[in-house]
Amino acid sequence: MISPSMLVPFQDSDLGDLVRSRPGEVRVGQVLGLLGTGGGRDPWQQAQRSGARFALLGIPEDLGPRANLGRPGADGAWEAFLEIFLNQQANHFLPAQEVLLAGRVQTGDLQEAARGLGSRPAELERLRELCAELDARVAPVVEEIVASGLIPVVIGGGHNNAFPIMQGVMRGLRQRGEAPESGLAVVNCDPHADFRALEGRHSGNGFSYAREAGLLASYFVLGLHEGFNSQEMLDRMLAWGGRHVTYESVFVRQELDFVQALDRAASHALAGGAPVGLELDLDALAGMPSSAQAPNGLTCEEAARYLDHLARRVPVAWVHLAEGAPDLLPEGGSRQVGKALAFLVSTFLKASWGR
């Protein structure tokens, strides 16, 4: 079992504080499983043998966005998600019995160490060091989840966590004897390519670090915003073999429709036969409280169609939803982010049911 210094498992008492029971109704939080802490040697495999297929994992931090000169607040998305997801109705539409509520990566000490740090060079350097320390906690937790045969569904936190998630997925697949030699395929629904220079860890270079580490076999960005990606970064990504469909090409110039864009993403991911990660940055959703919030972007329904479409067509190894920052909307931000995340996670679970 992973050290408590890395993972804080979810407890029955935590559920009792969050789930609002009502006579005649059953909530998702009353049905899904929790990670056992006693008895057996491997609680992840115990959960898998008990029927779990998906492990919900939170990473409540905003170190990565701040280290990328972005706005803080991504540490609040996990709690916002739980408040809504756990109180959904447990009914025949959602396979809640296949979901393990694993817990959250231990981030409290790192967040405290980052308190008060800003954008001065020495402060940015320290934030990037803390982000690298977080990498070393996330990867082993994800490794154990994947090694047990479960699919991680990760709620961030910043998009910096894509890199250690990929590290953990690859190591977990290696334990199962299923690691692809060429690396993993990723589809990232994101206004930004996150392929920045290797200048110290932050939310803008998770995929370039993954490429450098030999973890990334193919990469496709869906909904990239043409005005917010440097030519230098685009050149680096395209020279390596990454591909994209821009937001403007679909929703402004209408050079292809959204389904065609989704098909293009799926085809690119499938081409190498590698396990596929589905990444979704909440920056992609119009008006969503996030580090790089924008008025233009996908609707929540279109983001759900992305997850549904890909989950039905590719071998999904993990899902990662990043950058939601509830506190950036002073009134109602937690509910807006929580409802969006709960809807998106539920959409993926439904699309994956029976596959």
The answer to whether 50 and 304 have CB atoms below 8 angstroms apart is no
Q: Which pLDDT belongs to residue 330?
A: 84
> 83-103, pLDDT tens digit by residue?
999 999 999 999 999 999 999
Collapsed DSSP state (helix, strand, coil) of residue 150: coil
Q: How far apart are CA 282 and CA 189, in angstroms?
A: 9
Listed in sequence order, the residues at least 6 apart from 103 whose beta carbon sits closer than 8 Å to its beta carbon are 7, 8, 9, 10, 35, 57, 58
Q: What's the rounded mean pLDDT across residues 212-230? A: 98
The answer to whether 142 and 153 have CB atoms below 8 angstroms apart is no
Give the DSSP H or E segment for 245. strand 243-246
Q: Which domains does the chain have, with CATH numbers?
A: 7-352 (3.40.800.10)
Tell which residue, 329, 323, 327, has the closest CA to residue 341.
Answer: 323
Q: What's the rounded mean pLDDT across residues 311-325? A: 98
Residue of 21 and 337 predicted with greater confidence: 337
- Sign of the Cα torsion 221, 224, 230, 232 reads positive
259 alpha-carbon distance from chain centroid = 22
> 40-55, pLDDT tens digit by residue?
568 898 999 999 999 9
Residue 327 has pLDDT above 60, yes or no: yes
Q: Which pLDDT belongs to residue 1?
A: 61
Residue 234 has pLDDT above 80, yes or no: yes
Residue 316 has pLDDT above 80, yes or no: yes
Q: Which pLDDT belongs to residue 42?
A: 84
Q: How far apart are CA 259 and CA 306, in angstroms?
A: 9
Residue 38 has pLDDT above 60, yes or no: no
Listed in sequence order, the residues at least 6 apart from 207 whose beta carbon sits closer than 8 Å to its beta carbon are 162, 163, 186, 188, 193, 194, 195, 216, 219, 237, 242
> 132-159, pLDDT tens digit by residue?
999 999 999 999 999 999 999 999 999 9
Confidence label for 247 from pLDDT (cuts 50, 70 and 90): very high
Q: What's the rounded mean pLDDT across residues 2-30? A: 90
Tell which residue, 151, 142, 70, 130, has the closest CA to residue 104.
Answer: 142
Q: How far apart are CA 338 and CA 38, in angstroms?
A: 31
Residue 68 has pLDDT above 60, yes or no: yes
The structure tokens listed for 333 are 């931000």
Residue 37 has pLDDT above 70, yes or no: no
Mean pLDDT of the chain: 95
Q: Which pLDDT belongs to residue 140?
A: 97
End-to-end CA, the chain = 28
Q: How far apart are CA 12 and CA 69, in angstroms?
A: 38
Q: How far apart are CA 335 and CA 284, in angstroms?
A: 18
Q: Which pLDDT belongs to residue 16?
A: 87
